[in-house]
């Protein structure tokens, strides 16, 4: 544990408020009993219990919500919760539940029968891992056969390793003991060879044997130099390893490009693996692709005016020949890349790839410039055969029969498609849905909506009978939920914007409520108690405290990334939302709070310094920044980030470009900030992103609070850190927008600090008013 200067925390400028676990232990004693905890066996089908009382939602309730998890470790969408065995006779369901008292997250894997007897059976708990780190306790679950299950697991403070579990005997075996946490893995069919990716171990910046040694600074991140370890590289780069099951040692494998994406697609015979690797210097000819991210990457690397996103290619590694080669000389489109191998390893199919532009037919070239393809790659010839340009989730490839089974992505029908290979190429054919899924006797779906918590339902595919399998949060029956609805409004530039609107449970029409704007994403099909992220956002707890909450969508034109237009369009959405709700007579426009997280923090900074609208309080949590301090701090290690600041602010902050920075950069306009600001940094790197605002506002004697959690994640996942962030925000906005304080004695120091800031704020406003009268 560290220590902090209590006097500094209550000074008028509110010196750095450093949060340690011990600082919130009293909170845990207070809220621990309020968190509804359930044993894993309680996740079986339940009847609705008798409602004993109704109360509003708290942050502790949000953190304690049980979630069904999908393949990527995120809350499962409609068809993602059940993982069927290869023969369809059984399926797995993974759930996560936070334990606020212990500051852990329990991950539990359940086994269900996959037939009509399901309704009469309770689930069987196979394994449960509690995680005390930022890593999930269990993730990336796969069936190796009809009995054996592999997954990545981490218990308490352990690194994440690969485990295999027998679903009949529940025997658990750790297959790796790597020095750092595994990120992804693949196992051969005979389970004798394992491939995995892992982050490199961070190395000391200074020679431990010669601490007086000087370091020549080149491209080392400033945070790493101060910490003394190269943490930044370790968080970004992935290393690829191979290991025989019975061997203690592992062998590192090299790729042509830098490995940043963790996905591995192993051939069934274990000879090949497909990975996605970074294209270090995309050729200028790729600007012809009508893909905004490819164009941004080229513009960012060659013109240095915008953020440069990574660009990837598929790479094929042949272990027998000990060589690696690029599969297609073209980029992979961002999002949901997919690879599937034929059972005999004679071919694989890849999705979302562009094709090379060096073709003589001009019409074909034009098509390739704008079209993402699904293609077959034959082995060993590496011949590429286009299949379709549809967006697909690849399910099964039978190279002997020349058939590909896939599911449509992004369409409401979510229909199954089959493609048949002929001498003329691939063509789509009719498919009998029942015939293609005859091994599956039941369909398992997650039902949820913006007003309905997720529950697991099962449908018998033969009889059509449908029943509730699991309601993981029956305690919600005792809560008072405010209504959530999707709204749409027009902004000043003519765009129509959608958003989620949360009302207080006892909303009274005609009353004007304080407003909280959450600024980062909206999905009407998801039940979000806090919002799309678990840092800073707390939609339903805010509503329970008497706020109206607007969760605005953040859809944008990606070609405006890294420009001033991006910020101005986002601010127009905030202003349009205020006008819309004010016009309905729903909000008090003098009591508007706003929360920026990650990228949207930059938008909130611009709103606070350039909008004519008044914000009564704000939070910037782990937020992006385009300020002068960060420009300098990142220039040597992350030049594309500094280049983005130049793109936003109108050039380099020197000479003639400085005037543009003074006009546009939020950091140079802190004198215009009128709202009390809560800053949150969740890692040493992101502390740099908040520092200019903290130092600048402190110098201007404006109310600012900085909360620093050195071991947080983006977004936060550990319960105590979530409580600090989300409950801290609820308290912050209740204090500034409603004049309310939580009587919990554990928060006495917090409110003493904020009252000091409030007094300073009032004096500042009085001085400003007097100056206005004198003029």
For the stretch 189-248, pLDDT in tens is 888 899 999 988 888 887 766 666 788 888 888 888 888 888 777 778 899 999 998 888
Quote the pLDDT of residue 96. Answer: 97
Interval 91-121: pLDDT, tens: 999 999 999 999 999 999 999 998 767 776 7
Dihedral, CA atoms, 436, 442, 443, 444, nearest 10 degrees?
Answer: -140
Residue 21, pLDDT above cutoff 50 = no
CB 395 within 8 A of CB 407: yes
Closest-CA residue to 108 (of 89, 95, 121, 123)? 95
Grade residue 42 by pLDDT with cuts at 50, 70 and 90.
very low
Grade residue 775 by pLDDT with cuts at 50, 70 and 90.
low
Sign of CA pseudo-dihedral 101, 102, 103, 106: negative
Residue 30, pLDDT above cutoff 70 = no
Q: What residues form DSSP beta bridges with 193?
A: 244
Region 166-173: mean pLDDT is 96
Tell me the percentage of the chain whose pLDDT exceeds 70: 87
The distance from CA 416 to its chain's CA centroid, rounded to whole angstroms, is 28
Quote the pLDDT of residue 300. Answer: 56
Quote the pLDDT of residue 621. Answer: 98
Rounded CA gap, 578 and 487, in Å? 13
Quote the pLDDT of residue 556. Answer: 64
Quote the pLDDT of residue 337. Answer: 78
Residue 7, pLDDT above cutoff 60 = no
Within 8 A by CB and 6+ apart from 345, the residues are 267, 268, 269, 271, 272, 379
Closest-CA residue to 594 (of 661, 547, 635)? 547
Closest-CA residue to 713 (of 685, 677, 679, 678)? 685
Rounded CA gap, 688 and 476, in Å? 40
Closest-CA residue to 375 (of 283, 277, 287, 274)? 274
Quote the pLDDT of residue 23. Answer: 40
Of 5-14, 252-261, 525-534, the range with the lowest mean pLDDT is 5-14
Closest-CA residue to 312 (of 287, 332, 335, 338)? 332
Of 198-202, 263-267, 735-739, the range with the lowest mean pLDDT is 198-202
Tell me the percentage of the chain whose pLDDT exceeds 90: 65
Can you read off the two tokens belonging to residue 345? Answer: 């390893």
CB 480 within 8 A of CB 57: yes
Residue 612, pLDDT above cutoff 90 = yes
Quote the pLDDT of residue 520. Answer: 86
Of 133-137, 640-644, 668-672, the range with the lowest mean pLDDT is 640-644
Of 225 and 433, the structure prediction assigns the larger pLDDT to 225
Rounded CA gap, 380 and 395, in Å? 22
Residue 500, pLDDT above cutoff 50 = yes
Using the structure block, give the residue that is written with the tokens 């002068």.
Answer: 628
Within 8 A by CB and 6+ apart from 584, the residues are none
Region 415-438: mean pLDDT is 76
Grade residue 9 by pLDDT with cuts at 50, 70 and 90.
very low
Quote the pLDDT of residue 32. Answer: 36
């Amino acid at each position: 544990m560290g220590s902090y200067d209590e006097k500094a925390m209550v000074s008028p400028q509110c010196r750095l408020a450093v949060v340690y676990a011990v600082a919130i232990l009293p909170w845990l004693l207070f809220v621990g009993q309020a968190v509804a905890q359930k044993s894993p066996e309680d996740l079986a089908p339940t009847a609705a219990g008798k409602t004993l009382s109704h109360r509003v939602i708290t942050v502790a309730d949000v953190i304690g919500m049980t979630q069904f998890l999908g393949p990527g470790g995120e809350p499962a969408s409609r068809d993602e919760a059940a993982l069927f065995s290869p023969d369809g006779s059984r399926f797995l369901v993974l759930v996560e539940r936070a334990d606020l008292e212990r500051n852990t997250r329990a991950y539990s894997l359940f086994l269900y029968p996959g037939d009509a007897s399901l309704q009469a059976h309770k689930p069987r708990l196979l394994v449960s891992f509690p995680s005390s780190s930022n890593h999930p306790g269990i993730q990336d679950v796969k069936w190796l056969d009809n009995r054996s299950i592999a997954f990545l697991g981490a218990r308490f403070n352990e690194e994440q390793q690969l485990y295999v579990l027998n679903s009949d005997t529940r025997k658990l075996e750790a297959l790796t003991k790597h020095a750092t946490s595994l990120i992804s893995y693949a196992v051969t069919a005979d389970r004798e060879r394992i491939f995995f990716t892992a982050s490199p171990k961070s190395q000391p910046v200074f020679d431990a044997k010669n601490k007086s040694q000087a370091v020549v600074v080149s491209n080392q991140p400033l945070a790493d130099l101060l910490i003394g370890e190269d943490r930044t590289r370790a968080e970004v780069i992935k290393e690829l390893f191979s290991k025989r099951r019975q061997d203690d040692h592992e062998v590192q494998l090299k790729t042509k490009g830098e490995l940043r994406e963790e996905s591995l697609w192993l051939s069934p015979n274990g000879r090949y693996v497909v990975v996605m690797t970074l294209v270090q210097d995309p050729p200028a000819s790729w600007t012809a692709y009508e893909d905004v991210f490819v164009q941004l990457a080229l513009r960012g690397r060659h013109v240095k005016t915008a953020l440069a996103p990574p660009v990837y290619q598929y790479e094929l590694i042949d272990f027998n020949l000990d060589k690696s080669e690029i599969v297609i000389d073209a980029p992979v489109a961002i999002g949901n890349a997919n690879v599937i191998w034929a059972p005999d390893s004679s071919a694989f199919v890849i999705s979302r790839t562009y094709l090379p532009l060096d073709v003589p037919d001009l019409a074909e070239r034009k098509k390739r410039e704008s079209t993402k393809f699904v293609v077959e790659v034959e082995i060993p010839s590496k011949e590429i055969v286009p299949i379709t340009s549809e967006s697909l989730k690849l399910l099964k490839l039978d190279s002997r029969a020349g058939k590909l089974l896939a599911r449509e992505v992004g369409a409401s029908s979510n229909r199954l498609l089959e493609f048949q290979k002929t001498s003329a190429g691939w063509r789509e054919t009719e498919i009998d849905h029942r015939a293609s899924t005859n091994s599956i006797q039941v369909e398992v779906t997650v039902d949820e909506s913006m007003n309905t918590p997720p529950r697991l339902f099962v449908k018998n595919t033969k009889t059509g009978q449908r029943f509730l399998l699991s309601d993981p949060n029956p305690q919600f029956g005792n809560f008072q939920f405010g209504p959530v609805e999707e709204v749409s409004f027009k902004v000043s530039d003519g765009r129509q914007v959608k958003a989620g609107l949360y009302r207080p449970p006892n909303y009274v029409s005609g009353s004007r409520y304080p407003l909280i704007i959450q600024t980062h994403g909206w999905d009407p099909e998801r039940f979000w108690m806090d919002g799309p992220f678990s840092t800073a956002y707390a939609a339903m707890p805010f509503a329970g405290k008497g706020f109206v909450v607007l969760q605005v969508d953040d859809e944008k034109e990606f070609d405006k990334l890294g420009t001033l237009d991006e910020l101005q369009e986002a601010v127009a959405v905030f202003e349009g939302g205020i006008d819309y709700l004010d016009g309905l007579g729903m909000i008090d426009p003098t009591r508007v709070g706003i929360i920026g997280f990650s990228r949207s923090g930059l938008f909130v900074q611009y709103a606070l310094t350039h909008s004519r609208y008044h914000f009564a309080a704000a939070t910037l949590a782990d937020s992006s920044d385009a300020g002068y301090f960060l420009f300098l701090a990142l220039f040597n290690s992350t030049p594309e980030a500094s280049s983005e600041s130049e793109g936003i602010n109108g050039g380099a902050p020197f000479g003639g470009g400085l005037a543009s920075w003074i006009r546009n950069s939020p950091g140079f306009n802190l004198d215009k900030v009128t709202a009390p600001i809560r800053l949150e940094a969740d890692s040493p790197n992101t502390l740099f992103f908040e520092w200019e605002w903290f130092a600048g506002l402190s110098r201007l004697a404006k109310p600012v609070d900085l909360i620093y959690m050195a071991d947080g994640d983006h977004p936060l996942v550990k319960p105590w850190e979530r409580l600090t962030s989300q409950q801290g925000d609820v308290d912050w906005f209740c204090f500034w927008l409603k004049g309310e304080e939580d009587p919990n004695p554990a928060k006495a120091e917090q409110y003493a600090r904020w009252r000091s800031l409030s007094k300073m704020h009032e004096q500042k406003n009085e001085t400003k008013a007097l100056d206005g009268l004198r003029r």
